[in-house]
Chains A and B, each alone.
Chain A
Amino acid sequence: MFSMLNIHREVCGYCGACVSVCPEGALELIDAYLSVSDVCVNCGICARVCPLGALEVVHEE
């Protein structure tokens, strides 16, 4: 199975709450653009804390 963190950019409020909880340091806020690096382990912590629901870990077979 393949997992991946999806960012819904139209929902994101670029507040950086997700960046602060990321255990891997995979997220970074570049002004109004949230970036994910390949050290992301799809743990989903960011997706839970996001105040708007802009992040989602999707699983594909």
Chain B
Amino acid sequence: MNRYEILNQVYTNKVKTVIQENYRIKTIEIDHRMDCLPGQFLMVWIPGSGERPMSIGNADPLTISVANVGKVSGEIVNLVEGDRISYRGPFGNPFTIPKNAKKILCIGGGYGVVPMYFLARKAKEAGVNAIAVIGAKSENDIVWEKQLFVVCERVHITTDDGSKGKKGTVMIEVNELVEDVDAVYACGPEKMMAAVAKLCREKKKFCEVSIERIMKCGVGICGSCAINGKLCCMDGPVFTGEEALAMEEFGK
């Protein structure tokens, strides 16, 4: 053996495409086909700035969607086609689709739709129908709607201000849709995910949510992302609704 194997190397590849989704979110397609699953994430590194977890939106080409909210995300959205992007991963546990599921519900808020698209796409490939619900503040905040249309049977939209779809939270749609699906998935604000998880408990539906915490190492050793005895990066970020509801911090 010439070299020891590195479990988690830093990849550097070219940015293939950059898509401006709205006033603050950009989607970045990377010239890399990665072996990864919906719900997993990358640690994206901008030399000289920092490193942040980003959900994977697609495996081929490897895709992320980034909201410009601060230091590192602000650097990532400045990347243009042909630039190089560096990252480690994939990390975390993916979503799971129960064996006998025929129809699933994918609920995304904000950039939470990113892993929901990837999940719906994988579901479709496996012959499972997906229905999507996108929740947003207003019309301008909706992203990945077109992509979801391609892989979902239907896409429902709710906005806080009623500028598109139904006015209100995703729950107005979810309350009805939950009845005829076999599994429910949510990624977005914790209050929303908590409401979804509680509904699924009541309706006895399989439910998984994706939880965000500040992550530093990404590989389960530093403990920064600890949430009630679990590590978000290793044990999550996908947790069952019941696991999430058992966490004191969840949904606060």
Do A and B share a complex?
no
Task: Please report A residues at the B interface, Cβ cutoff 8 Å.
Answer: none
Where the two chains meet, the residues of B that have a C-beta atom closer than 8 Å to any C-beta of A are none
